[in-house]
C-alpha cells in the first residue's frame, strides 16, 4: 500500500516552493494531501483542504492577526487528526519563514509522538527563536539555509533533501504499533544524577523494560510529561526535579507548570527523588556576583549556585503538594547523604543542614497516599539506585509490599 504525506503550508504566498516540494515527494513514491493554512484563497496550488474555509469569514476583521493564525492552526489540527486516525496519512511536512514556522509549530505539537514530522524553517538556527520550537516533540527541524522565497539551486537541493528524509522516515521507520510491546519507564536525568539513573536504567533493562531517559533541561521534562499523558509509559522514576525547583529560585529557566503532575493525574506508579535540588542555574555573571553562595561550573557556560534553606523549603512545599494529588502508587525516596554528585560528603555543594530543611519539609508536607523511604546514603550510591528500581518494578507489576 502506498504512503501518503500531508503537506501543510501557506500556499497563497509560497505556491511555487510547495509545488516543488510536492513534486519531490511524488518522485520519492509518496502521495500527497495538501492542506493550505494561508489566508488568501487565491493560489497556484489546488489544496485538498483549506483550513481557513471552516472559519467565519468575518472573524479575520474582528480579531488580531496572531489570534487569526491561532484559529487557522487549530482548524488545521482538526483536519489532520482524522486523516491520521483513519491511516490516510503517514507523515506531515511543512516549510516556512516566521509565519509558516509558527503555524507548523502549533499544528505539529498537537500530533502524536512517533508520527514522522518534518519542518524546514528559516528560523532553525536562530538563537532567539529557540523558544518557538519548544514542545515540538519528535519533529525533525531542518535549516533551509536561504529564505523560502523563490526557487534557486540551494533551496531546491534542500527541499529535495527534506522530501528524501520524509520518504526515509515513512518507508523505513518501524511504526510503533508494529514494535515489540514492552513495559516502558521514563526517568528524569541530569549530569549530577546520572550515576543513579544509570543504575536504575540498567536494572530495568535487564528485567525486560524499555527505558526512556529524559534530560531535565525543561524540554526533556516537557517530553516526559507528554509521554505520560499519551499513555506511552507504565511508570516513572523521577530522579531529577530541577525543572520543578528552578522557577522557585529565580533561575533564568522558564517555568514548567505541569511538571511532576502527569503521572499522578494518569494514576501510573511513580518513584520520586529530590535529585538536583542542591543547585540553581544562573547566568555566569550573575553567579559570580552572588558572592554569598558556592558556585559549581558544570561546563564553562553552565553555572550553578548552591540552593539555600529558604529555597529548599519552597521546593519541598511545591513537591509535596503535587505528590499529594496523585491518583496512583507514589513513593518518595530520600537519599539522606546527598542529592547530587556534588552534594555528597566532600562535594562542593555538601550542606547537610540545608538538605535537612528540604527533607523535613517534604516529610511534614506529604499525605498518607505518598509512601516514604529514607536511606542513609548518597544519591550516587548503587544501593540507592537498586532500591529505586526494586520499588518501581514492584509498583508497576502490582505489588503492595512496602
**In CATH, what number is assigned to the domain containing residue 108?**
3.40.50.12020
Same domain, yes or no, for 265 and 332? yes
The pair phi, psi for residue 25, each rounded to 5°, is -60, -45
Q: Are strands 184-189 and 210-215 parallel, antiparallel or unpaired?
A: parallel
pLDDT-based confidence at residue 402 (cuts at 50, 70, 90) = very low
Same domain, yes or no, for 21 and 118? yes
At 222-240, the pLDDT tens digits run: 999 999 999 999 999 999 9
At 175-216, the pLDDT tens digits run: 555 556 789 999 999 999 999 999 999 999 999 999 999 999
Helix, strand or coil, per DSSP, at residue 140: strand
Same domain, yes or no, for 81 and 208? no
Same domain, yes or no, for 167 and 192? no
Which residues share a beta bridge with 31?
A: 4
Q: What does the buried/exposed string (b/e) look like for 333-345 if buried means 16 or more CB atoms within 10 Å of the residue's CB?
A: bbbbbbbbbbbbe
Count of structural domains, the chain: 2
Domain hosting 121: range is 4-172
Same domain, yes or no, for 166 and 220? no
**pTM greater than the 0.75 cutoff:** yes
In a domain, 246, yes or no: yes
Same domain, yes or no, for 150 and 260? no
What is the percent of the chain with per-residue pLDDT over 90, rounded to a whole number? 72
- Mean confidence (pLDDT) of the chain: 91
**Domain final position from 143, 172, 201:** 172
Question: Alpha-carbon distance 216 to 244, whole Å?
Answer: 10
Comparing 314 with 284, the larger pLDDT belongs to 314
What is the percent of the chain with per-residue pLDDT over 70, rounded to a whole number? 92
**Domain final position from 119, 138, 172:** 172
In a domain, 143, yes or no: yes
Same domain, yes or no, for 335 and 205? yes
In a domain, 353, yes or no: yes
Same domain, yes or no, for 310 and 202? yes
Count other Cβ atoms within 10 Å, centred on residue 360. 13
In a domain, 179, yes or no: no
Same domain, yes or no, for 109 and 19? yes
* CATH at residue 208: 3.40.50.12030
Lowest mean pLDDT of 52-56, 89-93, 202-206, name the range. 52-56
At 116-166, the pLDDT tens digits run: 999 999 888 765 555 566 666 789 999 999 999 999 999 999 999 999 999
Nearest to 35 by CA among 24, 23, 22, 26: 22
- Check: CB of residue 188 under 8 Å from CB of residue 224: yes
Q: Output the pLDDT for position 251.
A: 84
Task: Match 531535565 to its residue by C-alpha cell.
Answer: 216
Helix, strand or coil, per DSSP, at residue 190: coil
C-alpha cell of 118? Answer: 518534518
- Check: CB of residue 363 under 8 Å from CB of residue 323: no
Is residue 400 exposed (0-12), middle (13-18) or buried (19+ Cβ within 10 Å)?
exposed
- Is residue 68 pLDDT above 90, yes or no? no
Count other Cβ atoms within 10 Å, centred on residue 250. 10
Task: Match 504512503 to its residue by C-alpha cell.
Answer: 3
In a domain, 248, yes or no: yes
Question: Alpha-carbon distance 115 to 80, whole Å?
Answer: 12
Same domain, yes or no, for 195 and 163? no
C-alpha cell of 168? Answer: 526515509
**Domain final position from 117, 139, 172:** 172
At 267-280, the pLDDT tens digits run: 999 999 999 999 99
Q: Output the pLDDT for position 368.
A: 97
In a domain, 188, yes or no: yes
- Is residue 256 pLDDT above 60, yes or no? yes
In a domain, 211, yes or no: yes
In a domain, 74, yes or no: yes
Same domain, yes or no, for 159 and 295? no
Amino acid at each position: 500500500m502506498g504512503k501518503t504525506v500531508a503537506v501543510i503550508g501557506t500556499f497563497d504566498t509560497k505556491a511555487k516552493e510547495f509545488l516543488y516540494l510536492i513534486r519531490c515527494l511524488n518522485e520519492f513514491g509518496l502521495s500527497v494531501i495538501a492542506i493550505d493554512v494561508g489566508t488568501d484563497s487565491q493560489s497556484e496550488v489546488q489544496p485538498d483542504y483549506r483550513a481557513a474555509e471552516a472559519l467565519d469569514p468575518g472573524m479575520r476583521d474582528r480579531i488580531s492577526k496572531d489570534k487569526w493564525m491561532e484559529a487557522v492552526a487549530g482548524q488545521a489540527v482538526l483536519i489532520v487528526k482524522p486523516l491520521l486516525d483513519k491511516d490516510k496519512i503517514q507523515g506531515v511536512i511543512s516549510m516556512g519563514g516566521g509565519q509558516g514556522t509558527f503555524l507548523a509549530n502549533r499544528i505539529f505539537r498537537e500530533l502524536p509522538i512517533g508520527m514522522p514530522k518534518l519542518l524546514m524553517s528559516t528560523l532553525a538556527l536562530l538563537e532567539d527563536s529557540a523558544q518557538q520550537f519548544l514542545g515540538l516533540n519528535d519533529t525533525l527541524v531542518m535549516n533551509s539555509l536561504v529564505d523560502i522565497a523563490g526557487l534557486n539551486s540551494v533551496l531546491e537541493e534542500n527541499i529535495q533533501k527534506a522530501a528524501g528524509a520524509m520518504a526515509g522516515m515513512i518507508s523505513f521507520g518501524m511504526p510503533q504499533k508494529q514494535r515489540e510491546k514492552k513495559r516502558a519507564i521514563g526517568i528524569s536525568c541530569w549530569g549530577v544524577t546520572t550515576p543513579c539513573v544509570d543504575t536504575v536504567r540498567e536494572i530495568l533493562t535487564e528485567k525486560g523494560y524499555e527505558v526512556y531517559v529524559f534530560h531535565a533541561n525543561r524540554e526533556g521534562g516537557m517530553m516526559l510529561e507528554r509521554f505520560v499523558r499519551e499513555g506511552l509509559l507504565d511508570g516513572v522514576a523521577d530522579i531529577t526535579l530541577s525543572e520543578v525547583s528552578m522557577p522557585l529560585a529565580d533561575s533564568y529557566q522558564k517555568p514548567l507548570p505541569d511538571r511532576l503532575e502527569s503521572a499522578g493525574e494518569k494514576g501510573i506508579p511513580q518513584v520520586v527523588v529530590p535529585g538536583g535540588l542542591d543547585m540553581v542555574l544562573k547566568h555566569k555573571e550573575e553567579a559570580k556576583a552572588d558572592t554569598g553562595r558556592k558556585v559549581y561550573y558544570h561546563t564553562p557556560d553552565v553555572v550553578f549556585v548552591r540552593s539555600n534553606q529558604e529555597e529548599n523549603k519552597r521546593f519541598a512545599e511545591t513537591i509535596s503538594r503535587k505528590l499529594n494529588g496523585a491518583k496512583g502508587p507514589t513513593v518518595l525516596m530520600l537519599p539522606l547523604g546527598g542529592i547530587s554528585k556534588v552534594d555528597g560528603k566532600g562535594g562542593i555543594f555538601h550542606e547537610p543542614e540545608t538538605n535537612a530543611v528540604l527533607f523535613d519539609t517534604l516529610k511534614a508536607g506529604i499525605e498518607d497516599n505518598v509512601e516514604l523511604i529514607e536511606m542513609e546514603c548518597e544519591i550516587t550510591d548503587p544501593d540507592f539506585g537498586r532500591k529505586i528500581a526494586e520499588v518501581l518494578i514492584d509498583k508497576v507489576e502490582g505489588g503492595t509490599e512496602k
